Amino acid sequence: MNWSLFFDLTVSGLTLGSLYALIALGYSMVYGILKLLNFAHGDVYMIGAFIGWFALHGLGGPISPDVGAWIVTVLMFLAAMVGCGVLGVVIERFAYRPLRNAPRIAPLISALGVSFFLQNSALLLFGAAFRDYDSFDLIGSRTRHVGQVYYATPQILTVCGAIALMVVLTLIVARTTVGKAMRATSFDREAAAMMGIDVDRVISVTFFLGSALAGAAGVMFGLVFGQIYHYMGFIAGLKGFTAAVIGGIGSIPGAMLGGLVVGLLESYATGYLPQGSTFQNLYVFAVLIAVILVRPSGLLGRAAIQKV
Amino acid sequence: MSAPARLLDLRGVGKSFGGLRVISNLDMHVDEAEIVSVIGPNGAGKTTLFNLVTGIFRPDEGDIVLDGRSIVGLEPHQITNRGVARTFQTLRLFLNMTVKENVMAAQYGRTRSTVVEAMLRLPRARREEREIARLAEEKLAFFGSRLMGYRWDQPAYSLSYANRRRLEIARAMATTPRILLLDEPAAGMNPAETHEITELIGKLRSEAGHTILVIEHDMHVVEGISDRVVALDHGEKIAEGTFDEVATNERVVEAYLGPRHTRKK
Amino acid sequence: MVDLPSPADRPDEPRVGTDEWVASHGERTARRTGVTGFIARVWDRLPPFGRLAVFVVPTAFLPFLMSEENLTRYALYTLFYALMGLGLNVVVGYAGLLDLGYIAFVGFGAYGYGILASPQFGNHFQAELAIPAVAIATAVLGLLVGLPSRRLVGDYLAIVTLFFGQAFVVFVNNANRIDFPHFGHVDLTGGANGLSDIYPPNFFGYEINSTRRYFYFVLAAFALVLTALYFANESRTGRAWRALREDPLAAETMTVPVNRLKLLAFAFGAGLAGFTGAIYGSFQTGAFPGDYDVGLLITIYAVVILGGTGSLAGVALGAIIINCAPELLRSEHNASLLFYGVILLTILGKVRPWRVLGVFLGGLVAFGFAVHAIADAAWPRLTAAHAHSTGFLKGPIEDWVLLPRHPVKIADYGYVILIAAILLVTRLDGWRRLVALVPTVYLGAFVWENLLITQTAGATRLILLGALLVALMNARPQGLLGTARVEIV
């Protein structure tokens, strides 16, 4: 077995998986509370990548930043996370909240509309050309290695950053009052409202957190892969949702696990399967079908008992 | 004189949900043309019993026999086609379909024409369509003027609660069942409506010829209709017999009112 | 027990506790007045075939009124969208299954027909054989996709089918370089270049080779499919589909084999999609991977949802709006007329009473001239450019809207601010909203003239489509011709 290829694929799979996990978290949290497929989530991630790009260039660009490179990176993340968080809250407020009691299909169509709107607004404002993060100029191009495992700075930054964000999210959900309210709301929205929980606020917070994570993932994508474009949100959103479903939708550890599974799978498919780079999405699709058929509630999801 | 034919027979039926025993070793039967009531406190397993009989859940053990043939393992629609129809405790009408369509939809299993025949308006499809409409009108007429006339073409969600219950019964009747399972038909009704339901259940047997198994909390209704009463508690049968026998049974009183009450008495 | 009067005693009197009021709910809300009410009543009284005639007969005269190009752009594409919408309506509207891979079936039909009748494999089958064969093959494919999906509820089905749609696009994009076992290298789909030179359909020697012939052929297909679906919906199968949409468990206990009917709906919708796709592919004389992607999917969903899911007339209306409105946007002049027209009509319809309306319009005009005059005096560069709008609009707009010489950056900011302003206006009410609306409308005109109008063929159309979907769902979740549904979760 070619170990160095294996390690390379693993590293890139973990990087990709971290991105998917962050996107999947947003999907999963929103689904857990509203039972809504937020199709616009992938486009929020795309907007995050662009906010990061504008932050980078607002601070002097990658080659000669106004402040230290690491401070620039942190500011890019902050800008993208706050920007996307606010965007998520606004989307929820205007596109989903009025439809709380409408038929299930209405918010879904509204979500598709928002997705279309964001994507084409980006096309209108930012153009169809790719934009380059030039992250190697910013945070160094040195490839490091531990034994046979080679990795670049943006990759380790992505994996560690994703882990850190997930830890913070887990703490928020598990320890804080608003986290408790989120769990209560996802369990039974009406009962939570009757217990004095401000459900609208909880939903806003959920959208803020989920969208902020997507924004961070957008910046990470820019740092790792360099180029961003207005269409990048769609496929990433699809993968993120797949990750959420594979892990068990509504479950936060499930979203993380699902993200890693999808990322690694895609990476190994590229390396080991026939015509893997062309058909990687098909392989992911096949695994999704298999998981749903064997465990419809996902790897870490709980099966809901049907009440008759 | 031979014993009346056993229409529905449950033999040693048991069901658990993840370690929680909801029904255990239940034997009970319903004879042809009988009205049997199932009573018991909340959580006694009454609705689960219905779900087992109609095939929504599959029993872990035991056998359910309808007219001499086991129905365990059949899908719900197959069981309904064999002649078991039910209503739901929490009403489950097709709310956005019209009153008449609700009753027509329940005749899917007893008709055969394909969608292609329907699109081409072939003779069989048209004949069946006429029969479906006629039977639906007949079943709705069973409830007097309540579900007649302009109401046919109104969506089911526009009906009052009591009329929704009536429509559910009409829908169940349209599957031409041999045995009707009514899950708390008088729940949420006012005294006049409850009174009416009691008479209706009698009519369902005397005029429509249905055998009836009914879950009911209202003891006036149970007293008024039942040939036989079965009392459940924690998934076990604790008493069976005529209404008076069961109502005075010590274990039944205990199940409803708690053990202290019986001791004091 | 108290002797209550039995409810049948006095049937004429409404009583507390009975449902007269609830029962008349539908009549009370549905009684509309004015022209729309009159049209609605006439429409309701028409027999089904009458309704079909109202749509088809005037349409049949269109070829005599329009140029070939306009016939294609406005009429033919509308009919194609309507046909695609009818198939989707079976799956989504009747059976309530959220199929997001629907367009792949249309694509499969187009590619399938292309393989049977194009130089790619040298085949040229007669259309009376090829089109039914393709439709049946697509229905079988729908059945295969439905098989693993039949246990999936709602959103899981949506995601699996969405992925199937993506898989289809990936497949046709790359199926020119797959090595099949036994057959070796086969170029099945032409890869990214697609299949080209698909032959026009040839029925028993009669070739559909002109726009006009295509138009009548598709119109006839539409009328036939519509009629067939009307009967299907009123049959036991149609009722069973709607019953399972309403409550699958109750349907199952009421003798409806739910799984089988879901599969049937899936295959049925796919078959219709394949049928439409075959004609569509031959009309476009080619099948290309990019055509059958999410863009078309959303368009067809918009057609079905806009008109009202489950309503056949709604599909036709939705197709007309979704196809014709963006088509009008393609020319800058029409686009401007449409843009300002819609804004003006909305204001005229929504601002009441007349006095307020007059003050509002006057204020709007005055505001624009004031801003323009100030800018003209202080920063002449802001008013230096010429308007994109032509015709009678050109003069007033150049005097009213700011047209900077280098609009790119300032218009970008204007766009973002405009979105924020529109969202803000929806949150205000009363006179505050009216006051805020004045600069918002002006800003809208500014962004339109300087940014949106330059992209009318591309991004702008799709932005407006997206915004339209969101706005419509907010205003009327059941669609234009749909009836409000009650859903109990």
How do residues C110-169 score in pLDDT, each as one tens digit? 999 999 998 888 888 888 899 999 999 999 999 998 887 666 666 678 878 888 898 899
Choose among A106, A120, A238: nearest Cβ to C477: A106
Contact assessment for residue C114 and residue C120, using Cβ atoms and an 8 Å cutoff: yes
Mean pLDDT of A147-152: 80
Please name the residue of chain B whose CA is at the shortest distance from the CA of residue A103. Answer: B96
A308 contacts B47? CB cut-off 8 A: yes
Q: What pLDDT score does C484 carry?
A: 67
B262 to chain C, minimum CA–CA distance in Å? 28
Model confidence band, residue C30 (pLDDT cutoffs 50, 70, 90) = low
C91 vs A35, which has greater pLDDT? C91
Count of H helices and E strands in chain C? 22, 8
Q: What pLDDT score does C486 carry?
A: 65
Calpha distance A258→A270 (Å, rounded): 18
Calpha distance C480→B88 (Å, rounded): 34
Interface membership of C33 toward B (CB under 8 Å): no
Choose among B88, B146, B195: nearest Cβ to C250: B88
C-alpha dist (Å) from residue A164 to A170, A179, C288, C453: 10, 17, 44, 45
**Token pair belonging to C67:** 């140029």
Model confidence band, residue C31 (pLDDT cutoffs 50, 70, 90) = low
Model confidence band, residue C16 (pLDDT cutoffs 50, 70, 90) = very low
Calpha distance C161→A242 (Å, rounded): 12
Share of chain C above pLDDT 90, in %: 31
For residue B56, the chain A residues in CB contact (below 8 A) are 308
Calpha distance C371→A47 (Å, rounded): 33
**Token pair belonging to C79:** 């009919």
Mean pLDDT of A154-160: 89
Q: What pLDDT score does C469 carry?
A: 81
Lowest average pLDDT, out of C26-40, C437-451, C460-474, goes to C26-40
- Given CA atoms A275, A279, A283, A286 in this order, what sign does their dihedral have? negative
- Stretch (H or E) spanning A132: strand A131-132
HEC per residue, C12-45: CCCCCCCCHHHHCHHHHHHCCCHHHHHHHHHHHH
DSSP annotation of B148 = -
Choose among C152, C298, C451: nearest Cβ to A112: C298
Interface membership of C119 toward B (CB under 8 Å): no
B95 contacts C254? CB cut-off 8 A: no
Calpha distance C127→B209 (Å, rounded): 57
Contact assessment for residue C48 and residue C230, using Cβ atoms and an 8 Å cutoff: yes
The helix, strand and coil proportions of chain C, stated in percent and rounded to the nearest 5, come to: 70, 5, 25
A125 to chain B, minimum CA–CA distance in Å? 44
For residue A37, the chain C residues in CB contact (below 8 A) are 155, 158-159
What single-letter amino acid sits at C17? G
Interface membership of A304 toward B (CB under 8 Å): no
C474 contacts A124? CB cut-off 8 A: no
Please name the residue of chain C whose CA is at the shortest distance from the CA of residue B130. Answer: C235
Interface membership of C250 toward A (CB under 8 Å): no
- Stretch (H or E) spanning B22: strand B20-31
DSSP annotation of B26 = E
- Stretch (H or E) spanning B11: strand B6-17
Interface membership of C148 toward A (CB under 8 Å): yes
- Stretch (H or E) spanning B39: strand B35-39
Q: What pLDDT score does C73 carry?
A: 87
Interface membership of B107 toward C (CB under 8 Å): yes
Angle at A193 between CA A187 and CA A197, to 5 degrees: 90
B113 to chain A, minimum CA–CA distance in Å? 31
Mean pLDDT of A137-160: 80
C11 contacts B145? CB cut-off 8 A: yes
CB hemisphere CA count around A306 (13 angstroms): 9
Choose among B80, B151, B193: nearest Cβ to C255: B80
C-alpha dist (Å) from residue B164 to B99, B132, C19, C484: 9, 20, 11, 19
**Token pair belonging to C239:** 């009722």
Interface membership of C7 toward B (CB under 8 Å): yes
Q: Select the residue from C470, C480, C488 to test the A interface by mutation, using most A Cβ atoms within 10 A.
A: C470
Mean pLDDT of C214-241: 95
Residue with tokens 């792949």: C104
> Residue C486's closest CA among A237, B94, B221?
B94
For residue B16, the chain A residues in CB contact (below 8 A) are none
Question: DSSP 3-state assignment of A140?
Answer: coil
Dmax (CA) for chain A in angstroms is: 65
Highest mean pLDDT among A153-157, C83-87, C188-192, C344-348: C83-87
User: Distance between alpha carbon B232 and the CA centroid of its chain, in Å?
Assistant: 17
HEC per residue, A181-234: HHHHHHHCHHHHHHCCCCHHHHHHHHHHHHHHHHHHHHHHHHHHHCEECCCHHH
* Average pLDDT across chain A, whole number: 88
Q: How many CB pairs under 8 A join A and B?
A: 5
Contact assessment for residue C139 and residue C271, using Cβ atoms and an 8 Å cutoff: yes
Calpha distance B160→B148 (Å, rounded): 14
**Token pair belonging to C266:** 């899936």
Residues 216-245 of C with CB under 8 A from B: 228-229, 231-232, 234-240, 242-243
Which chains touch C (3+ CB pairs under 8 A)?
Answer: A, B
Task: Answer whether residue C1 shows pLDDT above 60.
Answer: no
User: Distance between alpha carbon A19 and the CA centroid of its chain, in Å?
Assistant: 6
What's the full length of chain C, in residues?
489
Model confidence band, residue C331 (pLDDT cutoffs 50, 70, 90) = confident
Q: How many CB pairs under 8 A join A and C?
A: 135
Q: What pLDDT score does C11 carry?
A: 44
B56 contacts A308? CB cut-off 8 A: yes
Q: What pLDDT score does B262 carry?
A: 53
Interface membership of C113 toward A (CB under 8 Å): no
Interacting residues of A291 by C-beta distance below 8 A, sequence separation 6+? A245, A246, A298, A299
C-alpha dist (Å) from residue B253 to B23, B231, B262, B265: 20, 10, 7, 11
Please name the residue of chain A whose CA is at the shortest distance from the CA of residue C160. Answer: A289
> Residue C115's closest CA among C176, C64, C59?
C176
What's the full length of chain A, in residues?
308
Contact assessment for residue A110 and residue A99, using Cβ atoms and an 8 Å cutoff: yes
Hey, what's the torsion of the CAs at A104, A105, A111, A114, to 10 degrees? -130
Contact assessment for residue A204 and residue A92, using Cβ atoms and an 8 Å cutoff: yes
DSSP annotation of B3 = P
The DSSP-derived string for C285-302 is TEE-GGGGSHHHHHHHHH
> Residue C269's closest CA among C138, C373, C390?
C138
Task: Answer whether residue C7 shows pLDDT above 70.
Answer: no
A53 vs C25, which has greater pLDDT? A53
Report the relative pairing of strands B236-241 and B228-233 from DSSP bridges: antiparallel
Report the relative pairing of strands A131-132 and A227-228 from DSSP bridges: antiparallel
Lowest average pLDDT, out of B164-173, C98-107, C345-354, goes to C345-354
* Average pLDDT across chain C, whole number: 84
Interacting residues of C53 by C-beta distance below 8 A, sequence separation 6+? none
For every one of its 265 residues, what pLDDT tens digit does chain B have, with 9 covering 90 and above?
A: 456 688 999 999 999 988 889 999 999 999 999 999 999 988 888 999 999 999 999 999 999 999 999 999 999 999 999 999 999 998 999 998 999 999 999 999 999 999 999 999 999 999 999 999 999 999 999 988 888 888 898 899 888 888 999 999 999 999 999 999 999 999 888 999 999 999 999 999 999 999 999 999 889 899 999 999 999 999 999 999 999 999 889 898 888 887 765 554 4
Calpha distance C246→C252 (Å, rounded): 11
Task: Answer whether residue C15 shows pLDDT above 80.
Answer: no
DSSP annotation of C350 = H
Task: Answer whether residue C12 shows pLDDT above 80.
Answer: no
For residue C258, the chain B residues in CB contact (below 8 A) are 77
B171 to chain C, minimum CA–CA distance in Å? 8
Task: Quick: pLDDT tens for C359-389.
Answer: 999 999 999 999 998 988 888 888 878 887 7
Task: Quick: pLDDT tens for A245-296.
Answer: 888 888 888 998 999 999 999 999 888 887 777 788 888 878 888 887 788 7
Which chains touch A (3+ CB pairs under 8 A)?
Answer: B, C
ipTM score over 0.90, yes or no: yes
Q: What pLDDT score does B265 carry?
A: 44
**Token pair belonging to B136:** 């639906």
